[in-house]
Amino acid sequence: MYAPGDVRVENRDVPAIVEPADAIIRVAAACICGSDLWRYRGIEQLTGPAPMGHEYVGVVEQLGSAVTTLRPGDFVVGSFFASDNTCEICRAGYQTHCVNRRPGAATGAQSQLLRVPLADGTLVATPGQPDADLVPSLLAASDVLGTGWFAAVAAEAGPGKTVAVVGDGAVGLLGVLAARQLGAERIIAMSRHADRQKLAREYGATDIVEERGDAGVARIKELTNGLGAHSVIEAVGTQESMMQAIRATRAGGHVGYVGVAHDVSLPGEELFFSGVHLHGGPAPVRRFLPELIQLIWDRAIDPGKVFDLTLPLDRAADGYRAMDERTAIKVLLQP
Ligand SMILES: [Zn+2]
Ligand SMILES: [Zn+2]
């Protein structure tokens, strides 16, 4: 990405092993993230041309000498932060906060070849070579599914719970799927788009709320005996969506927030008196990858349905436009 709205596909140097823990993978599929749009729209600053993409699946082409868990030819799913998966923070399940993490490491995944640092900690091999129709779902596990899943876990979605989901992008929709898998009793999707409502219902939403802001909060309260939801997933990252999530949560309830926050500031006094739990941040996708890969492999879940547009990599610019204009929920790029 050269500048807001300016995406180009061009030849770059072929990545090589730099550190012994690195892997080079041949990308089988990549995609555009809702978080890429912050820069595309000029809301997040871009300093010079930046290689884009952090969601990927592919085949291991080359391994550094220190990598022990992978072999060339393995089909792998990676998380968007490189992590060692061995430090205390990783072992507690917070790999995105790994003491050795490489935040920018998996950038440039919208490409044919990708260098992944800390390969043992970051990449998980699938049980075998996947059928072609499983590839989009495995790709979803790399971020949007893992992120929606973390949001549902952070919001403590589970049996007997009413879960509300703020945001009808791919993460919000997969938050619905996750809440369903975790056994939530009732799932309220907040969306005003017919196609997204339809997918939300397919993924397990029992109710749809079209109102937003205070009107949306009022509607959630109406549906929950005036109390608010037990669990609320926040998957947008704006001031309005965050406050909508907090206000739609009952006292003692949990907000799982995963929309990358932009200019959000929380009013201390309102927070103090709300009595809600807040937990979120960049999802430790790596924690959930083994379980999610197995669910996909067994065809128990179909998160790949969020990809409603597939383009060859050289048309990436069209993919950004489609996501920016919201004509596509999520765009898969085929190198
Ligand atoms: Zn992403
Ligand atoms: Zn770690």
Give the mean pLDDT of 68-75. 98
Alpha carbon of 230 to ligand 2 centroid (Å):
31
Alpha carbon of 123 to ligand 2 centroid (Å):
13
Alpha carbon of 226 to ligand 1 centroid (Å):
35
Give the rounded percent of residues in the chain with a pLDDT score beyond 90. Answer: 93
Give the mean pLDDT of 104-123. 89
Ligand in nearest proximity to the CA of 88 = 2
105 pLDDT tier (thresholds 50, 70, 90):
low
Question: Treating both helix axes as pointing N-terminal to C-terminal, what angle do 144-154 and 285-297 enclose, rounded to 10 degrees?
Answer: 110
Ligand in nearest proximity to the CA of 96 = 2
Alpha carbon of 122 to ligand 2 centroid (Å):
10
Encode pLDDT of 177-235 as tens digits: 999 999 999 999 999 999 999 999 999 999 999 999 999 999 999 999 999 999 999 99
| Distance separating alpha carbons of residues 327 and 321, to the nearest angstrom | 9
Alpha carbon of 264 to ligand 2 centroid (Å):
28
> What is the residue extent of each domain of the chain?
23-143+284-334, 146-280
Alpha carbon of 224 to ligand 1 centroid (Å):
32
Give the mean pLDDT of 105-123. 90
Q: How many CB atoms lie within 10 A of CB 304?
A: 20
Ligand in nearest proximity to the CA of 147 = 1
On the question of pLDDT at 35 being above 90, the answer is no
Alpha carbon of 46 to ligand 1 centroid (Å):
17
Ligand in nearest proximity to the CA of 323 = 1
Q: Which backbone phi and psi does 292 adopt, to 5 degrees?
A: -70, -40
Q: Name the fold adopted by 23-143+284-334.
A: Quinone Oxidoreductase; Chain A, domain 1 (3.90.180)
DSSP type of residue 267: -
Ligand in nearest proximity to the CA of 107 = 1
Ligand in nearest proximity to the CA of 98 = 2
Alpha carbon of 23 to ligand 1 centroid (Å):
20
Q: Which pLDDT score, from 0 to 100, does residue 54 have?
A: 94
48 pLDDT tier (thresholds 50, 70, 90):
confident
On the question of pLDDT at 249 being above 80, the answer is yes
Alpha carbon of 219 to ligand 2 centroid (Å):
42
Give the mean pLDDT of 235-244. 96
Q: Which pLDDT score, from 0 to 100, does residue 107 have?
A: 76
104 pLDDT tier (thresholds 50, 70, 90):
low
Q: Which residue has the higher pLDDT, 47 or 165?
A: 165
Alpha carbon of 39 to ligand 1 centroid (Å):
13
CA atoms within 13 A on the CB side of 161: 29
Q: Which pLDDT score, from 0 to 100, does residue 101 have?
A: 87
Q: Which pLDDT score, from 0 to 100, does residue 106 have?
A: 60
Alpha carbon of 140 to ligand 1 centroid (Å):
9
Q: Six-digit token pair at 44?
A: 């997040």
Q: Which pLDDT score, from 0 to 100, does residue 15 have?
A: 94
Output the CA angle 99-104-106, nearest 5 degrees. Answer: 100
How distant, in Å, are the alpha carbons of 60, 68, 115 from that of 63?
A: 7, 9, 10
Q: Write down the architecture of domain 146-280 according to CATH.
A: 3-Layer(aba) Sandwich (3.40)
Alpha carbon of 33 to ligand 1 centroid (Å):
4
Residue with tokens 């048309």: 315
Alpha carbon of 118 to ligand 2 centroid (Å):
10
**Mean pLDDT for the chain?**
96
Give the rounded percent of residues in the chain with a pLDDT score beyond 70. Answer: 99
